[in-house]
Amino acid sequence: MGDPFLNYLALGILFFVAITLFYGIIAIHDIPYRIAESRHHPHQDAIHAAGWVSLFMLHALWPFLWIWAMAYRPERGWGFKATPANEPVQPELTAEVVELRRRVAHLEKLTRSEVKAPVSQRAGARVDLK
């Protein structure tokens, strides 16, 4: 029948390879989640859940999860256009933001003064003096 030691050695190698493949596949499926986690991706929980779904679908979704995880960077957001952090903000945009903030502050001031004023003194209130 042969040497039983070689049979047990072959069985041990078979178990080792099977366990290594099993854990290797599980570790590989988690790579997109690790990328999303390191990049502070806003959808990292969804990527992690989709990774488990992909595991049960024989990694059919895995390439798409990789792309999804790689498409976001905190410093530039979505897309591929690189914007340096020291790039100056457009002056017309800054002026518009300042103007909008001034208008919002003015409206808040008006709203606070209307709430504090008596009903008869509020704008648009009818006052019947008879």
Summarize pLDDT for 36-64 with one digit per residue, the tens. Answer: 999 999 999 999 999 999 988 888 899 99
- Strand residue runs (E) in the chain: 72-73, 77-78
Whole-model pTM: value is 0.53
Q: How buried is 39 (Cβ within 10 angstroms: 0-12 exposed, 13-18 middle, 19+ buried)?
A: middle
* Residue ranges per structural domain of the chain: 1-77, 89-120
Q: What is the phi/psi pair of residue 30, to 5°?
A: -90, -5
Report the distance separating Cα 31 and Cα 113, nearest Å. Answer: 56
3-32 per-position pLDDT tens digit:
899 999 999 999 999 999 999 988 888 999
Q: Between residues 102 and 116, which one has the greater pLDDT?
A: 102
Phi, psi of 72 (to 5 degrees): -115, 135
